[in-house]
Amino acid sequence: MKKAMRSAAVACLFSALTVFTAMADKGDKVECQNCWNAYYSCIDRGIDEVVCRDLRDECMIDFGCAAPN
């Protein structure tokens, strides 16, 4: 049950991130910041490491965001 709730929360997070970035240019500074904020929020909430890694990859590959310093 707990895993299902985490999956639902992560799906919601991905959904929100996709909506926020759908109209942004690749590498847009504000949208990249939103993407990285979602990634760090994923880690801070203790969501499965693989899921957070997928979110990180989405920031870098799909949205063209450079890794934060």
On whether the CB atoms of residues 13 and 41 are closer than 8 A, the answer is yes
Cβ proximity of 21 and 63 under 8 Å: yes
What are the structural domain ranges in the chain?
A: 2-62
Mean pLDDT of the 7-11 span: 59
Q: pLDDT value at position 68?
A: 77
Which pLDDT tens digit goes with each residue over 41-52?
Answer: 999 999 999 999
DSSP 27: T
pLDDT for the residue 2: 58
- Cα separation, 31 vs 57, in Å, equals 15
Segment 12-49, tens digit of pLDDT: 566 655 555 454 566 688 889 999 999 999 999 999 99
Q: Which helix (H) or strand (E) holds 57?
A: helix 49-57
State the pLDDT at residue 12.
Answer: 55
Q: Is the pLDDT of residue 8 over 60?
A: no
Q: Which two tokens stand for residue 65?
A: 């965001």
